[in-house]
Amino acid sequence: MSKILLTGATGYIGSHTWLALLAAGYEVVGVDDFSNSSPAVLPRLAQLAGAMPVFECADVGDPEALEAVFAKHQFDAVVHFAAFKAVGESGEKPLDYYRNNIGGLLTVCATMAAHGCRRIVFSSSATVYGTPEKLPLREDAPVSAVNPYGQTKLIGETILRDVGAADPRWQTAALRYFNPVGAHESGQIGEDPRGIPNNLMPYVAQVAVGRRDVLKVFGNDYDTPDGTGVRDYIHVLDLAEGHVAAVRFLLSHPESITVNLGTGQGYSVLDVVRAYEAASGKPVPYEFAPRRAGDVAACWADPSLAAEKLGWRATRGLATMCEDSWRWQSLNPQGF
Ligand code: NAD
Ligand code: WQD
């Protein structure tokens, strides 16, 4: 049975991927420093998985702490989620973002190399496509970064490419996520943003549950069918299964890959509002507001490379994404 190290394991995508890896039969060791998640995730995971998860509280940028984890376990692969992810905050605190996202990746890779573990799945993002010239986005589209967060993902991909070029025994998978939303179907784990949500669906969820009064729709004059921004929302459970497929790929192919994880389908802000109202049975009042700086009009994936290479495709639609988000939000109105 292969043993996988999950960094950022108690976070939104990490916690769902943890369950998916366990369900696929992998042994998993989770690491997190709780800088953006709650220890309350762990008993929920235990309940869902039927056993207490193996967990170490550590900062992946701390070489000694990470060395202690690697000294206890022989890992076959690492799935590296740990990073800061707020685009706006990255412009205000660029040094924190470079230190945590780049410093963390460097420490993870150096510790892996020291222990002869050379398979890594890296959380990249559709943000690396900058302003798309052509849709849908294929992996060979031009890349650029318009904020420090995006830079950390581009630099992360570059670091992995260079590591692989220097030593072909390394196998890396850079997964470019589009817009992860939704929650586990049990309603026991889900996205729990601190403070005011930056992203659309958690904000809509908090309006539906009565925590916030009104959604601000950032821009209604984009060149899109209804004037609001269009994105490729992907269910976090599909995303989690994409990671299982990537781990399986690395364990069975002597190759490295960069692939999109999206559905290939774009929805507008107003499509999401309507789908959420239908799923929750609650009104989601909204008002139009100016465009948000740095936003693109539309962005969706060509997901065919992931289908070809990983044998993976997203299967859950927008209605399921909203229903599962609502179950989590309504059962846990204040989060964990
Ligand atoms: P999240 O904040 O919920 O999870 C990240 C986890 O990493 C948190 O639990 C946090 O406490 C932990 N962490 C951060 N720095 C750490 C460190 N130095 N040591 C140990 N733990 C640390 O975010 P998420 O949405 O689950 O995102 C996971 C990854 O996917 C991130 O790398 C993010 O950049 C990337 N990503 C997310 C999205 C998205 O929209 N959610 C989209 C594309 C890419
Ligand atoms: C979606 C749409 C907004 C909030 C971000 C990061 C990206 C990736 C995923 C990490 C846009 C509109 C939003 C609100 C709104 N993360 N919106 N009112 O910006 O596509 O992507 O998360 O890698 O890097 O940039 O996602 O959910 O913030 O916005 O109208 O209160 O919803 O303008 O059109 P985005 P989002």
Give 13-29 pLDDT, tens digit per residue: 999 999 999 999 999 99
Residue written as tokens 């573990």?
A: 117
Cα of 208 from ligand 2 centre, angstroms = 18
Cα of 85 from ligand 1 centre, angstroms = 6
Cα of 71 from ligand 2 centre, angstroms = 39
Q: What angle do CA 251, 259, 175 make, to 5 degrees?
A: 75
CA 308 from centre of chain: 21
In the three-class reduction of DSSP (H, G, I as helix; E, B as strand; rest coil), residue 45 is classed as helix
* Ligand 2 residue neighbourhood (C-beta within 6 Å): 85, 87, 125, 127, 179, 198-200, 203, 215-218, 229, 231, 269, 292, 295
Active site residues: 149
* Ligand 1 residue neighbourhood (C-beta within 6 Å): 7-8, 10-14, 31-37, 59-61, 81-83, 85, 100, 104, 123, 125, 177, 180
pLDDT digits (tens, 9 = 90+) for 105-160: 999 999 999 999 999 999 999 999 999 999 999 999 999 998 999 999 999 999 99
Structure tokens given for 129: 């496509």
What is the average pLDDT value for the chain, to the nearest integer?
Answer: 98
Q: Provide the whole-model pTM.
A: 0.99
CB of 306 closer than 8 Å to CB of 143: no
Q: What is the DSSP letter of 144?
A: B
* Nearest alpha carbon, ligand 2 atom 21: 179
* Nearest alpha carbon, ligand 2 atom 26: 199
Percent of residues, the chain, with pLDDT higher than 90: 99
- CB-count burial class (<10 Å; 0-12, 13-18, 19+) for 242: buried
> C-alpha dihedral over 234, 239, 245, 251, to 10 degrees?
140
What is d(CA 254, CA 321) in angstroms, rounded to the nearest whole number?
34
* Nearest alpha carbon, ligand 1 atom 6: 8
Q: Which atom of ligand 1 is nearest to the CA of 59?
A: 19
pLDDT digits (tens, 9 = 90+) for 23-56: 999 999 999 999 999 999 999 999 999 999 999 9
* Nearest alpha carbon, ligand 2 atom 28: 199
* Nearest alpha carbon, ligand 1 atom 13: 82
Region of residue 181 (phi > 0: left; psi between -120 and 50: alpha; otherwise: beta): beta
Among 36, 131, 191, 292, which is best to mutate for testing ligand 2, by the most ligand atoms less than 8 A from CB? 292
What is d(CA 78, CA 7) in angstroms, rounded to the nearest whole number?
8
Q: Has residue 214 got a pLDDT over 90?
A: yes
Cα of 123 from ligand 1 centre, angstroms = 8
> What single string gives the DSSP state of each residue in 14-43?
HHHHHHHHHHTT-EEEEEE--SSS-TTHHH
pLDDT band for 274, please (50, 70, 90 cuts): very high
Among 36, 179, 213, 261, which is best to mutate for testing ligand 2, by the most ligand atoms less than 8 A from CB? 179
pLDDT band for 292, please (50, 70, 90 cuts): very high
CB of 55 closer than 8 Å to CB of 30: yes
Q: Are strands 77-80 and 119-125 parallel, antiparallel or unpaired?
A: parallel
Among 85, 89, 198, which is best to mutate for testing ligand 1, by the most ligand atoms less than 8 A from CB? 85
